[in-house]
Chains A and B, each alone.
Chain A
């Protein structure tokens, strides 16, 4: 499988704080790569750095073989990277429809097919099509955020903690949706919920204090009690 995204020796500062201190990982086409680690390990910052929201000060990020390290966010997004932030980033005063249209940019056949696909995946969005984004429930907002990132020109989705603050039944729905989306796109997932991460993920990268400490196949991690206990506090 081709490498879709490669992150090599990335360092990032936020103000005076040295958050990322050497992050390395690869995301291969059609796979779900999961970033794991404790709170404050640098998982969200890694996603933001890939997207140029908190630009890297050192290291190299390549997407489909092109370096994107120093490019502005909108150029990186337009090159085919979609982002689902931790807080979902729904435009509260725009309706579900308007939120989707803002993300779609154009309404060609491919995009409309993508829209139909996500609306089948998340039927709630169809029901609340004319409702303001701010009035949706937490789970519906998460669905809208994922749908919005998917309908854009995205070949890679960066999804940040999709299970955060959601009820177990909704987490199940979101997880099924990600498993389905995996057939159509490459995903880099940040997830604290190890049960969810282990069911969805193909590969994992463990971050600790802003640097990569382990990476490999998810199946290996599931069986490695020592690493899980040491870095995730589980097992």
Chain B
């Protein structure tokens, strides 16, 4: 019998196949670019979900890692040479730097209670923003700089496919991560930190691991974002990026991984259409106000997000069912 889990996988596979075929059946440059942006922000939002949804950590400094990825790729492609090899190396370098910084930041700050941690991450992120503004020789400050991407990415379709592959790979890896014993401990930390401690876990270690994973994945998103624009400036380190990730995660559904992808899609598409309406209706020049209203309504009426709400509705429709399954009696079985 096909289980719910298998149906989900079949459904997701169909969507991925459709998205892979999409650029071959349409020549809409706008849609290719828009979907590429959605994929990039989906990666960022999934990384935030590891923190917020699976470990219960609220960070206001996630843009720091996105910015590190963006600047590392931009600087290396600009200073070394715009080849695919350097591009891959720059992604790896960005991930290592983000990993090291998230390790240090996590170790220093994750001991604090959640609201103090959130404030401290905001301050640290601000510190990185100021550093990027002042270190003009490397970053060109607020003005930013343009750079050449590898030749192969001049074709938007190729870049679209590369980003889609990254999204699929990151989703699969993160799903394996959250379903592993380590992922279960992260959920335990989110649900009851004291109880997890009393089961013998050093909670700080697990929070730091979550922080490193989230930081590394966010830096990948930043690198892809910089390539998509062929330009980088300090906006990649601003609070707006963190808020986008936070809201994509909340609107899509925290602790679901697939939710943040849907959240990224909803927000990017809404941004696109609302700002497009400004030509006919000047009020939409202030589309951000509508966004604010959308966020408030979403938090009030759909606190579990889109995926969470759908799951709840699905569970309500289903009659309670006892799952009789014999536990494993030997190692390795489950």
Are A119 and B200 within 8 A (Cβ)? no
Could you give, for residues 71-94 of chain A, a 1 whenever the CB lies within 8 Å of some chain B CB and a 0 otherwise?
011100110000101000101111
- Binding-face segment, B11-19, B165-173, B322-330: B322-330
Stretch at the interface among B67-75, B191-199, B273-281: B191-199
Partner pick for A102 among B181, B197, B203, B331, CB 8 A cutoff: B181
The CA-CA distance from A116 to B326 in the complex, in Å, is 11
> Is the pair A77, B198 in contact by a Cβ cutoff of 8 Å?
yes
Q: Given A74-B203, A130-B325, do A112 and B330 touch, yes or no (CB 8 Å)?
A: yes
Closest chain-B Cβ to A68's Cβ sits at a distance in Å of 13
CA distance A51 to B200 in the complex (A): 10
Interface size on A, residues (CB 8 A): 37
Asked, given contacts A83-B198, A101-B181, A128-B323, whether A94 binds B192 with beta carbons under 8 Å apart, the answer is no
Contact (Cβ within 8 A) B322 A127: yes
Residues of A123-139 whose CB lies within 8 A of B = 126-131, 135
Q: By the criterion CB–CB under 8 Å, are A116 and B329 in contact?
A: yes
From residue B234, how far is it (CB to closest CB) to chain A in Å? 38
Restricting to B288-333, which residues have a CB under 8 Å from any CB of A? 320, 322-327, 329-332
Residue of A nearest to B185 (CB): A102
- Identify the interface centre among A72, A98, A148: most chain B CB within 10 Å of its CB: A98
Are B191 and A92 within 8 A (Cβ)? Answer: yes
Assembled-state Cα–Cα distance A133/B144 (Å): 51
Contacting residues, chain A, for B199 (C-beta < 8 A) = 77, 102-103, 148, 152
**Does A199 sit at the interface, judged by CB under 8 A?**
no
Instruction: Say how far A225's CB is from chain B's closest CB, in angstroms.
Output: 37
Smallest CB separation, B161 vs chain A (Å):
35
Q: Is A73 a contact partner of B198 (Cβ separation < 8 A)?
A: yes
B255 at the interface (CB under 8 A from A): yes
Known A112-B330, A128-B323: A102·B194 in contact at CB below 8 Å: no
Closest Cβ of chain A: how far from B329's Cβ, in Å?
A: 6
Q: Which of A53, A83, A91, A116 contacts B187 (CB 8 A)?
A: A91
| Inter-chain contacts of B322 with A (CB < 8 A) | 127-128, 131
A203 within 8 A of B: no
Best-surrounded residue of A85, A100, A102, A108 (most CB of chain B within 10 A): A102
Q: Once the chains bind, are A53 and B184 in contact (CB under 8 Å)?
A: no
Count, A-B residue pairs, CB within 8 A: 85
Q: Does A115 contact B (CB under 8 A)?
A: yes
Complex contact A126–B187 (CB within 8 A): no
Asked if B195 and A85 sit within 8 Å, CB to CB, the answer is yes
Question: How far does the alpha carbon of A119 sit from the alpha carbon of B192 in the complex, in Å?
Answer: 24
Choose from B187, B201, B331 the contact partner of A74 (Cβ within 8 Å).
B201
How far, in angstroms, from A108 to B331 measured CA to CA in the complex? 7
- Hey, which chain A residues are within 8 Å of B323, CB to CB? 128-131
CB distance from A187 to the nearest CB of B (A): 16
Q: Is A97 an interface residue (CB 8 A)?
A: yes
Given contacts A103-B199, A152-B200, are A126 and B326 in contact (CB under 8 A)?
yes
Contact A93 B181 (CB under 8 A): no
Q: Which of B197, B323, B334 has the most CB of A within 10 A?
A: B197
Cα A103 to Cα B327 with chains together (Å): 15
Smallest CB separation, B320 vs chain A (Å)? 8
Q: Which residues from chain A contact B188 at a C-beta distance below 8 Å?
A: 91, 94, 102
Indicate whether A127 sits within 8 Å of B324 (C-beta atoms), given known contacts A91-B188, A94-B187: yes
Indicate which residue in A51, A72, A93, A103 contacts B191 across the interface (CB closer than 8 Å).
Answer: A93
B134 within 8 A of A: no
| Interface presence of A44 (CB below 8 A) | no
A211→B17 CA distance, assembly (Å): 68
- The distance in angstroms between the C-alpha atoms of A51 and B327, with both chains bound, is 30
Give the complex CA separation of A93 and B192 in angstroms.
11
Q: Does B29 contact A (CB under 8 A)?
A: no
Residues in B with CB closer than 8 Å to A128 are 322-323
| B residues apposed to A, CB below 8 Å | 181, 184-185, 187-188, 191-192, 194-203, 255, 320, 322-327, 329-332, 334
15 pairs, A vs B, C-beta closer than 8 Å: A53-B194, A74-B198, A74-B203, A77-B198, A85-B195, A85-B198, A91-B188, A101-B181, A126-B327, A127-B324, A129-B323, A130-B323, A131-B323, A148-B199, A152-B199
Interface residues of A (CB under 8 A from B): 51, 53, 72-74, 77-78, 83, 85, 89, 91-94, 97-98, 100-103, 105, 107-108, 112, 115-116, 119, 126-131, 135, 148, 152-153
